[in-house]
Amino acid sequence: MTEENSPAGSNIDKKPIDQDDYFMGLAVLSKKRSPDPDTKVGACIVNEKGQVVALGYNSMPRGCERFSWSKDKSKHLLERKTFYVCHAEFNAIMNRNCSLENCTMYVTLFPCNECAKLIIQSGIKSVQYISDESAEKDQYKASKIMFSTAGIAHSQYESTKTITVDLFETDDNSDENQVANPENPDRNE
């Protein structure tokens, strides 16, 4: 991973990324696993020790992958994704490998009211999110009311960095440590 705005080979390239940027980056990377063609959301849950305890992205329930991802309001509700999709927050909570008591959730889209209930009940104490694009909808207003009432810290995440993930980057740029990329020979230095 490198910061895009830093000169190649500078000391900035060698500096580790901020912990919050790292965890939000994992949420962003997780959303790329989502099969939803319209709204891709990712979540990363981290414990008080700074350890990742769960990741999730929005998807259909296991065995229901063939269900429609349609948002077409002219279709009956049972023919749209509304009642079927598992949100990223839900999947992350279900994927946990330990108690979520006092954990922080990093999520790319502010949680809906149903996910807010799960977050509260799981013991998560803090939520950081990138986008709050549906803030005017009642279900998201309800989330904020529940979070505030239950003492769940929630804030919009802001970063000034662009982080690039290069799967062929190595720590040492010597020729012997370069990974060959057969699909893109220009990457093979």
- Residues involved in catalysis: 89
- For residues 6-21, one letter each, b for 16 or more C-beta atoms within 10 angstroms of the residue's C-beta and e for the rest, the string is eeeeeeeeeeeeeeeb
Tokens read off for 159: 């970063």
In the numeric block, the tokens 């803090």 are attached to 126
**Whole-angstrom distance, CA of residue 26 vs CA of residue 92:** 12
The CA dihedral of 35, 114, 119, 125, to the nearest 10 degrees, is: 120
Helices (H), the chain: 11-14, 19-31, 88-94, 113-122, 138-150
